[in-house]
Structure 1
Amino acid sequence: MNRSSYKITRPDTEIRGLVDYFWEGEVCLDSTRQTSFEYLAPASTAVDLIFFNKGYFKDSLSEKTIAQNGIIYGQKASFNRYSTTSKQATIFGIKLKSSFVFHMLRVPASEITGHQVDLRTLLGCSGDRLTELILSSHSMEEKADTFTRFLKGQQREVQTKFRALEKLIASVDFLAEPSEISNQLGSFFLSRRQFERDFKTLTGFSVRKFSRLKRFELFFQAIQSNQLTSSFTQAAYQFGYYDQAHLNRDFKEFTGVSPKRYADTFLR
Structure 2
Amino acid sequence: MTTFNRSHFQRFAPTSQLANLVQCYWHVTYGEGQLAIADEYMHPEGGSGIIFNCADPIKIGNFLLKQGCTIVGPNRKSVHFTGLGRVEAFGIRFHPGAGHQFFGLPLTEIENTTIVPDDISLTRLCDHLMNELMMSASVEQWITAIEYHLFSHLLTIQKQNKSLSGKLDNRLAFAINWIDVNNGLKPISALNDELCLGQRQLDRLFKQHMGLAPKQYSRLRQNHYARYLLKTQLFDLSLTDIGYLAGFYDQAHFNHQFREVIGITPGQYRDKIIAKSRLYATRAC
Normalised to the residue count of structure 1, the TM-score between the two structures is 0.83
Greater CA deviation, 211-220 or 23-32?
23-32
> What aligned pairs does 1:111-190 form with structure 2 within 5 A after superposition?
111-121=109-119, 122-155=121-154, 156=158, 157-158=164-165, 162-172=169-179, 173-175=181-183, 177-179=185-187, 181-190=188-197
Does 1:254 pair with 2:261?
Answer: yes
Q: Secondary structure at the match of 2:33?
A: helix
Q: Which residue of 1 aligns with 2:16?
A: 13
8 A Cα contact 1:110 1:200, kept in partner: yes
Give the conservation status (yes or no) of the 8 Å contact 2:185–2:246.
no
Show the counterpart of 1:54.
55
Kept after mapping to 2: 8 A contact 1:175/1:240: no
1:74 matched to 2:77: no
Alpha carbons of structure 1 residues 29 and 202: separation in structure 2 relative to 1, 3 Å: same
Letter in 2 for 1:227: T
Superposed displacement of residue 211, structure 1: 0.7
Give yes or no for contact 1:11–1:22 (8 Å, CA) kept in 2: yes
Amino acid at match of 2:183: L
Q: Look up the SS of the partner of 1:248 in the other structure.
A: helix
SS of alignment partner, residue 80 of structure 2? strand
Which 5+ residue runs of structure 2 have no aligned equivalent? 1-5, 159-163, 277-285
1:201 aligns with: 208
| Residue in structure 2 matched with residue 211 of structure 1 by the alignment | 218
| Structure 2 residue matching 1:197: 3-state secondary structure | helix
Deviation at 1:96, TM superposition (A): 1.2
161 and 102 in structure 1: CA distance in 2 versus 1, 3 angstrom threshold: closer
TM score, norm. by length of structure 2? 0.78
Equivalent pair of 2:43/2:79 in contact (CA under 8 Å): yes
1:176, CA displacement in angstroms?
5.6
Q: Distance in 2 between matches of 1:124 and 1:29?
A: 30
Q: Secondary structure at the match of 1:29?
A: coil
Residues 187 and 265 of structure 1: CA distance in aligned 2, closer, same or farther (over 3 Å):
closer
> 2-side partners of 1:231 and 1:177: how far apart?
20
Give 2:103's aligned residue.
105
Tell me which amino acid in the other structure corresponds to 2:202: F
CA distance in structure 2 between the aligned counterparts of 1:14 and 1:185, rounded to whole angstroms: 31
Distance 1:80 1:166, change over 3 A: same
Greater displacement, 185-194 / 108-117: 185-194
Give structure 1 stretches of 5+ with no counterpart: none
On the 8 A contact 1:120/1:127 being kept in 2, the answer is: no
Where 1:54 maps in the other structure, the secondary structure is: coil
